[in-house]
């Protein structure tokens, strides 16, 4: 496998959480939408995009997750402590040490994300000279989501997590979808520099974007108008809603 060709793609899937609000001991990503685990839909997108390497980061009940999707074309990395999304991605550094290209970070609980939106994200990233590209969306109510704060030129200034946002930032209705494209070398060079001085005490992956900007680099933004496809699942009701949406596709 040639992992050094231009625009080679690796996909990292965040799938370590328990899903405490799901009222179930089943790992969140194993709850089903359309008759199969949510994470299986995400792995399928990665395959469709031509990913040369797919790594699922698992933690809670990791043996059950691994067993359930054993036939899927993914490798596994372990995040045994839930210390945030930045910490999660760091756990697959060794598996990607021979890789040179772009890294797409997806969430295992966002099962309706479409091939076309991800393809647009890839194309935007590859067409630009940026070290990272993030997916955003305009929503009526961005409660719970990180906010995309732009500078006067319309470019990314910073991402602010909901719990860390001030009143003005909370009024911003452009949300961070939690889906990112990174230049591999930039990502793993900056990840160890991310701190956890925030309301959650976690290592946030979006802080890598801030570090890129601080170095004078640029971060592109790809905006989607399809709010449904970027919805994550935190409750059983949200799971039912997405399952209903899946039946319409």
- Chain mean position to CA 183: 15
Mean pLDDT of the chain: 94
Catalytic residue, from 21, 147, 158, 215: name it: 21
Burial (CB count <10 Å: 0-12, 13-18, 19+), residue 6: exposed
Average pLDDT over residues 73-78: 98
| Predicted pLDDT of residue 5 | 52
Average pLDDT (157-168) is 93
How high is the pLDDT of residue 4?
43
User: What span, in angstroms and rounded, lies between the C-alpha atoms of 192 and 88?
Assistant: 12
Per-residue pLDDT reduced to its tens digit, 214-232:
999 999 999 998 999 999 9
Alpha carbon distance 249, 175 (integer Å) = 24
Q: DSSP labels for 98-146?
A: T--SEEEEEETT-TT--HHHHHHHHHHHHHS--SEEEEEEE-S--TTSP
Judge whether residue 28 has pLDDT over 70: yes
Report which secondary-structure segment, H or E, holds 180: strand 174-183
User: How many whole angstroms separate alpha carbon 241 and alpha carbon 202?
Assistant: 29
- List pLDDT tens digits, range 91-120: 999 999 999 999 999 999 999 999 999 999
Please say if 21 is a catalytic residue: yes
CA 135, CA 114: separation in Å to the nearest integer? 12
**Interval 170-226: pLDDT, tens:** 999 999 999 999 999 999 999 999 999 998 899 999 999 999 999 999 999 999 989
Please check the confidence at residue 133 and state whether its pLDDT lies above 70. Answer: yes
Please name each of the domains of the chain with its CATH number: 9-248 (3.90.550.10)
Query: 0.75 exceeded by the pTM?
Result: yes
Q: Which residue has the higher pLDDT, 54 or 19?
A: 54
Among residues of the chain, what percentage have pLDDT more than 70?
A: 98
Residue 7 has pLDDT above 90, yes or no: no
Q: Looking at the DSSP assignment, which residues form a beta bridge with residue 107?
A: 14
Which residues, 6+ apart, have CB-to-CB distance to 171 below 8 Å? none
């Amino acid at each position: 496998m040639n992992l050094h060709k231009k625009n080679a793609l690796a996909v990292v899937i965040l799938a370590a959480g328990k899903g405490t609000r799901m009222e179930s001991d089943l790992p969140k990503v194993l709850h089903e939408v359309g008759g199969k685990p949510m994470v299986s839909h995400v792995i399928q997108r990665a395959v469709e995009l031509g990913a040369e390497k797919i790594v699922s980061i698992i933690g809670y009940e990791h043996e059950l997750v691994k067993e359930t999707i054993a036939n899927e074309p993914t490798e596994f990395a372990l995040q045994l402590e839930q210390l945030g999304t930045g910490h999660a991605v760091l756990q697959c550094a060794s598996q990607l040490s021979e890789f040179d290209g772009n890294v797409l970070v997806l969430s295992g609980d966002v099962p309706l994300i479409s091939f076309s939106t991800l393809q647009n994200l890839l194309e935007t990233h590859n067409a630009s000279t940026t070290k990272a590209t993030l997916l955003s969306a305009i929503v009526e109510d961005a409660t719970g989501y990180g906010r995309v704060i732009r500078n006067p030129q319309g470019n990314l200034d910073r991402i602010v997590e909901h719990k860390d946002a001030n009143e003005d930032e909370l009024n911003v209705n452009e949300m961070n979808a939690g889906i990112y494209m990174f230049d591999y070398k930039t990502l793993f060079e900056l990840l160890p520099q991310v701190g956890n001085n925030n309301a959650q005490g976690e290592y946030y992956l979006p802080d890598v974007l801030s570090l890129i900007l601080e170095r004078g680099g640029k971060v592109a933004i790809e905006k989607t108008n399809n709010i449904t496809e970027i919805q994550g699942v935190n409750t059983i009701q949200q799971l039912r809603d997405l399952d209903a949406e899946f039946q319409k596709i």
